[in-house]
Amino acid sequence: MAVSELLILGVDAADFSVLSSDSVSLPTLERLMQEGVSAPLESTTPPITGAAWPAMACGRDPNSIGMFDFRNFSREDCGEYRPSPSAVDPFWSYLSEEGYTAGISGYPIAPLDKPVDGFVLSWPWYLPADEQRLAPAEFFEDTDIEVDDYIRENTEFEVEQVLTDLWDKAEFDERVLNRFDFDVYFTHLDADTIIHIADEDTLDDVYRVYEAIDEIVASILEHCADDCAVMMVSDHGISKVHGKFYMTQFLIDQGLLQRETTAAERVTQTDISQRAIELAKTTLNALGLTRPIQKLLLSDDKIRQQAGLEHGLDFEDIDCENTVVVNSGDWGQLYGTDGDDEVKAVVDYLSRMAAEQGFEVVVDWPETAYEGDQLHPDAPDAIVTIRAQDGILRPKSVVSPGKEDPEDYFETFDTANLNHGEDGVFVLSGPNVKHNTEVEPLHLLDVAPTILNQLVGVVPPDVHGTARTDLYEPGSRPASTPQTGFKDFQQTLIEDRSEHGEMDEVKEKLAELGYFE
């Protein structure tokens, strides 16, 4: 069995800083780069998995599909909700309409209500255990392939578990490709989990994961036809995190975010209680007991909240009526509950504070970060990045009492951690593709139209990305400007969404934003 036309390697968090390192051996990936084209792949703003993969699948930005993170913030009730990917019309549905078979193995946040000639398996870490992960659900019924045996949620953040999960996923792909033929096959390879547990002193763990991925890619290539094209994409890259900024606590102390505190919490927030807590912390640190005590008694956010310690913000505790600015997520997404004036004031004040501490605030405003004449009702009012050295400080959405001076809101690390970066990786090799060439950077919104142009020469009318014809040899068919099409099929996709109930409202919102006639 073989992949005949295009193999897509979705390497989550791939970064050229690792691919080009002398400390890691990646013969297969290096060969792919030498045989084709390579370039940085710009991510969404901010570079979040929950927005990037859905946007990449359809070539439309987060604003148009209403997916800004794994969880969106709603100004209506100051709560968070999990957005549906049903507004995403993925490239594999358009290919299926043109007669291509597709195997989509582990695509993060994949829409499962769209047509596919083949199967779609959505990567499961963000899904409830009882929620559908495979479409069509009966695809593997007459086989001995059990999805749950190979695709598991990674809850143990250790390098050995990351490697085990990678090889289990590779075994799943191996069994699928031994049984079925596909024109196009996508597989997700997780290089992201390791960067959330590594730092500059433990890069060897990152290299081990990449070397495993290189071996896995080599085994998958054995299932590809000789003239099959190979594309590698990532949802984001890697950045250095030099510390954190307590954004939510800053908003609380400025009176901009009001919470419904409990009686026990109010007691622990008195000056006497705070001094007692600090004394207890100092004593436990001196005895080396802080981590064991925290692990034993204080790992639960509710317990930590009652004890007056740092804890995650429970959005159900927000006093929405008296709150004017909220930080949702850990990427500096600021939301004004009644307009953006207060958000702009926060940004100005924060910029001055950061400058005094030697940091720089960079702001992405929605008008320039997103496409379309109108913003989605749940789009953030500002996305704040705090630059530090050659990396960033992460804005934290936690409650952390006891801050008194401006510098208390900034915390730097002795050793830089790793996290998401703005530029991922794009690599393409195969028939008609330029050889051993570095090209201009791509945006991940370019991926879907580039795939559709390469295979069928047609792209949908509403994509925000560009079919990158400069990747191919002059005179070849993919080097020509694609036609605009799929209009009738797109209308069918809209009607299919409407049949799923909630999508009537999505259709109306997208029409208002000008994405459909």
Residue 337 in domain: yes
Per-residue pLDDT tens digits for 349-390:
999 999 999 999 999 999 999 987 789 999 999 999 999 988
Q: Where in the sequence is the domain holding 272, given as residue range(s)?
A: 242-419
In this structure, the answer to whether residues 180 and 134 fall within a common structural domain is yes
Residue 311 in domain: yes
| For range 5-25, the mean pLDDT | 97
* Contact between 89 and 460 (Cβ < 8 Å): yes
In this structure, the answer to whether residues 130 and 274 fall within a common structural domain is no
In this structure, the answer to whether residues 393 and 435 fall within a common structural domain is no
Residue 154 in domain: yes
SS3 463: coil
Report the C-alpha gap between 316 and 311 in whole angstroms.
14
Q: Residue 127's pLDDT is what?
A: 57
Per-residue pLDDT tens digits for 242-272:
999 999 999 999 999 999 864 444 444 555 5
Report the C-alpha gap between 266 and 273 in whole angstroms.
10
* Domains of the chain: total: 3
Q: What does pTM read for this prediction?
A: 0.88
In this structure, the answer to whether residues 314 and 379 fall within a common structural domain is yes
- Of 513, 490, 516, 508, the closest CA to residue 115 belongs to 490
Per-residue pLDDT tens digits for 71-92:
999 999 999 998 989 889 999 9
Residue 85 in domain: no
Residue 500 in domain: yes
Question: What number of CA atoms fall less than 13 Å from residue 155's CA on the CB side?
Answer: 4
In this structure, the answer to whether residues 20 and 143 fall within a common structural domain is yes
In this structure, the answer to whether residues 267 and 411 fall within a common structural domain is yes
| For range 11-35, the mean pLDDT | 96
Q: Which residues pair with 293 in a beta bridge?
A: none
In this structure, the answer to whether residues 436 and 498 fall within a common structural domain is no
Report the C-alpha gap between 456 and 343 in whole angstroms.
45
* Contact between 38 and 26 (Cβ < 8 Å): no
In this structure, the answer to whether residues 205 and 287 fall within a common structural domain is no
Residue 261 in domain: yes
In this structure, the answer to whether residues 221 and 255 fall within a common structural domain is no
In this structure, the answer to whether residues 412 and 265 fall within a common structural domain is yes
Residue 120 in domain: yes
In this structure, the answer to whether residues 215 and 166 fall within a common structural domain is yes
| Radius of gyration of the chain measured on its C-alpha atoms | 24
Residue 39 in domain: yes
Residue 162: CATH number of its domain: 3.40.720.10
Answer yes or no: is pLDDT of 493 > 80.
no
In this structure, the answer to whether residues 135 and 50 fall within a common structural domain is yes
